[in-house]
Amino acid sequence: MKGMKRKVTIIVLLIFTVFISFVDANISKSDKNIYDTKIDNIKYPNSSAAILLDYTRITINSDSTYTKTRRVVKRVLNYKGKKENSEYKITFDKRYENIEINKAVTIKEENKKYIEIPIDKSAMREIDLPSESGFMDYAVHKMRISAFSSVESNDIVDIEYTKKNNKKDKFTDIIIFGYKEPIYKIYYEIIMPENMSIKFNKLEGVTFKEKKIGDMKLYIWESEKLPQILREQGQPEWSYFTKTLFITVYSDWNQFKNDLLKQYNDKIKITESIKNLTDMIINRITDDRKKVNVISKYIAKNIDSKPVNSLTDFDLRNVDDIIKSGYAASFDRIALFLTMMKYIGIESYPVAVGPKVYYWDKRKDCLQPNDFKTMICKIKIDNKEYYINPESEFYPLGYINYSNNIGLLIKEDNVKFETIMSDSLNRNRKENVKTIRIDSKGNAIISVKSLIWGDEAVKKRESFTYITPIKKKQAYEEIINTISQNAEPVSKDLKIVLGNPVQISFKYRYNNFATIDRGFVYFDIPIDQLPFNLAIEPDDRKYPYLNRDNDNEAWNISVNYPKSYKTILKPENIKVEDNTFSIEKYIESQRGCLKIKGNVKKKPYIVSLDEYNEFYNKVIKLAHPRYYKVLMKK
């Protein structure tokens, strides 16, 4: 009996060995070479997977339709990688794209042999793109999901698919030679008719080849061993510091601008609906600024915003249809607004909103329509121009929520770009006035008044315009709690004036504001003078540091204390300037009073790695106690 069992076991092992050999024999030599790629786990301890191959081939036809074939091969390195790679998702436009999965397998390795396990095709599913939920007619994207249910740590997932696009649009693409996982081999190829023009930027460190195949031309970019891109505080977008290829078949910006201009010229028609609605909105208002404001607020409140991030995926709708539907993406909303401006005789035109100014130099020479994702408006009243966006009822005339973005003017003139900016009365600014009265026990009564312009003012209007008394009380309590556990309100509630500027006032008691010890009194000047919270030291910094803010904050503080106190040590004055910020603070000492005036300005800027050490040291020095500590003798 034992002999029989031994024979069965040997037979099973032989069958399994033959099966493994057969499976491995079905793996092509080129695939085996890919799967054999050695992973440096020590170099990339934080990576959940490694990309063994990232291959893309674009075939552009003479009629501008194209086919995209993509293959991604990954080795899963740990449990996190298993969770992240148990599904592969492909997004496509259901109107003019279709997807075909050519290959989707899990590769397992046993006894130095590769076993190929195809995914269960019944587990493939197609869903509406979740991020477009509620987009109404703008919900046009689908997602094809392939499930790799058998994948485990150290397995390989290998998927290849083809996407066919029949839109006949001008082809553009952006390829970043880097990812959150290390890439061991990457190939990007374009094959297109020889008589078709194409523009792209030159890349150092990426191998480029150009070939002619009959009446077609082939472009190839390839690279190897691309390091993992890690997340880091204040990191700019990857294309800024990673080798990035920009490809376009647009000849110049006029093509893009004129395509948009033609649509607006065709759709801006003053209909009876436009006349009736506009007359109803402005009623008897005669001032042009007020007319613009009420029309903008009406559209914001009555035309639901659909955040579609594209200007080329849709044709503009008729303005009457927009009014009837009650919803619109930015480009349709602006068409409605421009039509109303035309009816009341106010000069206006659309502006396409592009990337931030600090990214523009790297992108401007290879036109990418998807760099311009939304539309705003520019109007002219009394020979003065204003940006306006009828997206929110809380945006006053002259304020724009896309400051420091590049704007492309959609006009009959030559192509013109400009930096989008709110007018001087609506830029980010804050003035803080505080009066601090310290008693002989070290407790203080502090009165605060803040005047706020710009982005934060808009947020305050959004928060407090329709707030209930209970919510307002809770907001006040939250402000007090963020100051200190020793703080308690004195004024009954917040005093808020939602004008321009927004004004917020309140008074509170700060117990033990000053510490009294053996005849000495010491306390901190309550100024948030550290412009940036830099958590990464220069030696650990891997990427440039981006400051997105364009803020100006000023303080005017009076600290009153018993006149018998003698100042021994007061904070030093500060005057520091950098490409990213400037700070000034001056302190005047009088009998029974300290007066502090200060100002911090933050400027949008990308700090290079070479600049970061000096920048970091300038900021960290401001945290020294000598800049905010006060010492007195009773």
Q: Tens digits of per-residue pLDDT, 42-61?
A: 899 989 999 999 999 999 99
User: Taking the CA atoms of the chain, what radius of gyration do you get in angstroms?
Assistant: 32
Q: Tens digits of per-residue pLDDT, 243-277?
A: 999 999 998 999 999 999 999 999 999 999 999 99
Q: Tens digits of per-residue pLDDT, 576-589?
A: 999 999 999 999 99
Using alpha carbons, list the distances in angstroms from residue 306 to 129, 139, 297: 15, 10, 16
Q: With 80 as the cut, is the pLDDT of residue 371 above it? A: yes
Q: Long-range contact list for 355-360, CB < 8 A, 24+ apart?
A: 355/405, 355/406, 356/404, 356/405, 356/406, 356/548, 356/604, 357/404, 357/405, 357/406, 357/419, 357/604, 358/236, 358/240, 358/546, 358/604, 358/605, 358/606, 359/236, 359/237, 359/239, 359/240, 360/406, 360/417
End-to-end Cα distance, the chain? 102
Q: With 50 as the cut, is the pLDDT of residue 30 above it? A: yes
What pLDDT does 146 receive? 95
Count Cβ atoms below 10 Å from residue 461 Cβ, excluding itself.
21
Rounded distance between C-alpha atoms, residue 561 and residue 567, angstroms:
10
Using alpha carbons, list the distances in angstroms from residue 390 to 328, 330, 337, 498, 539: 11, 9, 8, 19, 46
Q: With 80 as the cut, is the pLDDT of residue 297 above it? A: yes
What architecture does CATH give domain 429-633?
Answer: Sandwich (2.60)
Q: Where are the beta strands (DSSP E) in 440-544?
A: 444-453, 487-489, 495-498, 502-510, 515-517, 520-524
Rounded distance between C-alpha atoms, residue 348 and residue 340, angstroms:
10
What pLDDT does 14 receive? 44
Q: Tens digits of per-residue pLDDT, 442-468?
A: 999 999 999 999 999 999 999 999 999
Rounded distance between C-alpha atoms, residue 231 and residue 565, angstroms:
51
Q: Tens digits of per-residue pLDDT, 490-511?
A: 999 999 999 999 999 999 999 9
For helices 272-282 and 288-302, the axis angle rounded to 10 degrees is 110
Give the rounded percent of residues in the chain with a pLDDT score beyond 70.
Answer: 96
**Mean pLDDT, the chain, integer:** 93
User: For residue 351, what are its two tokens?
Assistant: 């502006």
What pLDDT does 111 receive? 87
Bridge pairing between strands 49-60 and 66-76: antiparallel
Where does the pLDDT of residue 24 fall: very low under 50, low under 70, confident under 90, or very high at 90 and above? low
Q: Give residue 178's identity as a one-letter amino acid code.
A: G
Instruction: Indicate yes or no: pTM above 0.85.
Output: yes
Place of tokens 């329709």: 466
Sign of the torsion angle spanned by Cα atoms 461, 462, 468, 471:
negative
What pLDDT does 18 receive? 41
Beta bridge partners of 464: none
Residue 346 near residue 370, CB atoms below 8 Å: no
User: For residue 413, what are its two tokens?
Assistant: 């003139």
Give the range among 6-20, 98-112, 140-154, 364-378 with minimum mean pLDDT: 6-20
Q: DSSP class of residue 382?
A: T
Rounded distance between C-alpha atoms, residue 10 and residue 18, angstroms:
12
Q: DSSP class of residue 252?
A: -
Where does the pLDDT of residue 6 fall: very low under 50, low under 70, confident under 90, or very high at 90 and above? low
In the predicted model, what is the mean pLDDT of residues 95-114? 94
In the predicted model, what is the mean pLDDT of residues 67-87? 96
What pLDDT does 13 receive? 45
What pLDDT does 16 receive? 43
SS (H, E, C) 194-211: CCCCCEECCCCCCEEEEE
Q: DSSP class of residue 111?
A: T
What pLDDT does 121 receive? 85
Q: With 80 as the cut, is the pLDDT of residue 12 above it? A: no
**DSSP states of 393-449 as a string?**
TT--TT--TTTTEEEEE-SSSS--EEE----TTSSSEEEEEEEEEE-TTS-EEEEEE
What pLDDT does 422 receive? 96
User: For residue 613, what are its two tokens?
Assistant: 């050490």
Q: Tens digits of per-residue pLDDT, 517-531?
A: 989 999 999 888 888
Burial class (CB in 10 A: 0-12, 13-18, 19+), 187: middle
The residues, ordered by sequence, that sit 6+ positions from 290 with a Cβ below 8 Å of its Cβ are none
What pLDDT does 9 receive? 47
- Strand, coil or helix: 542: coil
Per DSSP, the chain holds a count of helices (H) and strands (E) of 13, 36
Give the rounded percent of residues in the chain with a pLDDT score beyond 90.
Answer: 91
> CATH number of the domain at 254-419, please?
3.10.620.30
Rounded distance between C-alpha atoms, residue 293 and residue 185, angstroms:
55
Rounded distance between C-alpha atoms, residue 386 and residue 548, angstroms:
23
Domain boundaries, the chain: 18-252, 254-419, 429-633
Report CA 179 to chain centroid distance, whole Å: 17
Report angle CA 519, 524, 529 to the nearest 5 degrees: 160
What CATH topology corresponds to 18-252? Immunoglobulin-like (2.60.40)
What pLDDT does 21 receive? 41
In the predicted model, what is the mean pLDDT of residues 203-217? 95
Rounded distance between C-alpha atoms, residue 305 and residue 439, angstroms:
53
Residue 338 near residue 268, CB atoms below 8 Å: yes
- Strand, coil or helix: 389: coil
Using alpha carbons, list the distances in angstroms from residue 627 to 433, 530, 587: 19, 10, 10
Report angle CA 90, 94, 99 to the nearest 5 degrees: 45
User: For residue 555, what are its two tokens?
Assistant: 């303080």
